[in-house]
Amino acid sequence: MSSTSTSIQITSLPKLLSNGSNWPTYQECVLNTLTSKGLKRHVLGTAHKPEVPVEHNGSFYYQNSMNLLTDEELEKNEDEQDSYDQKQAAVQEIIYWTIDMSFFLQVKNEKTAADVWKKLILVHTEKGGMYETDLLTKLQNMQLTEGDNICTHLTAMTEIKECLAEISSPILPSQYELS
């Protein structure tokens, strides 16, 4: 796959806000973009790195094989290695350019794109009780005043509801009932 077929307009992706409040939207947009570019397996950790041949006395072999690799097989392996590395870097670049410095510092030392993504998920899905309380308070205090756009208001409420669901605190239909 050529590098141009996986080029991605990073500017079209949302930036993850420093408070993580747009995490559900950010996550969906990034995963959808990576899927559309054939990079989903790299962010999910299901892409396998090609085996690195071992060198012995100037000849190359695979670890558990006694068969000498031909020049064509060695070249194919190097191309596969390059492709894998380029896709890993493309995923990491997308994530790095769409997060702020505090998130970058938390994920920059992860070894693979999947590890970076898992770390971001961990940071945003295990925020703790204060974050949940803050979200519930924001939702409870939201008011639509005269002149406000109802679509904007409902979108903001939906985003909070999705954030709550992400941290395993979904709003259940029974919570809508008035007593």
Do 117 and 176 fall within a single domain? no
Residues 119 and 151 placed together within one structural domain of the fold: no
The per-residue pLDDT of the chain, averaged, comes to: 85
Count H helices and E strands in the chain, helices first: 7, 2
Instruction: Assess whether pLDDT exceeds 50 at residue 78.
Output: yes
**Are residue 77 and residue 152 in the same domain, yes or no?**
no
C-beta separation of 47 from 41 below 8 A = yes
Cα–Cα distance for residue pair 98/85, rounded to 1 Å:
20
Residues in a beta bridge with 39 = none
pLDDT at 34: 94
Question: Do residue 36 and residue 117 come from a single domain?
Answer: yes
> Could you tell me if 60 and 134 lie in one domain?
no
Domain final residue pick, 125, 149, 171: 125
Number of Cβ within 10 Å of residue 108's Cβ equals 13
The reply to whether 168 and 105 lie within a common domain is no
Q: Which of 82-86, 124-128, 167-171 has the highest mean pLDDT?
A: 82-86
Does 95 share its domain with 43? yes
Is residue 177 domain-shared with residue 93, that is, in the same domain? no
Q: What is the pTM of this model?
A: 0.69
pLDDT at 81: 96
Clarify whether residues 104 and 157 are in a common domain: no
How many domains are contained in the chain?
A: 2
Residue 134 belongs to what domain range? 128-179
* pLDDT for res 45: 94
Cβ of 81: how many Cβ atoms within 10 Å?
Answer: 15
Are 77 and 50 contacting, i.e. CB atoms less than 8 angstroms apart? yes
Would residue 165 be called left, alpha or beta, if left means φ above 0 and alpha means ψ between -120 and 50 degrees?
A: alpha
Let me know whether 112 and 46 are in one domain: yes
Same domain (yes/no): 67, 145? no
Token code pair at residue 42: 């790299």
Report yes or no: 135 and 20 within 8 Å, Cβ to Cβ.
Answer: no
Residues 121 and 137 in one domain: no
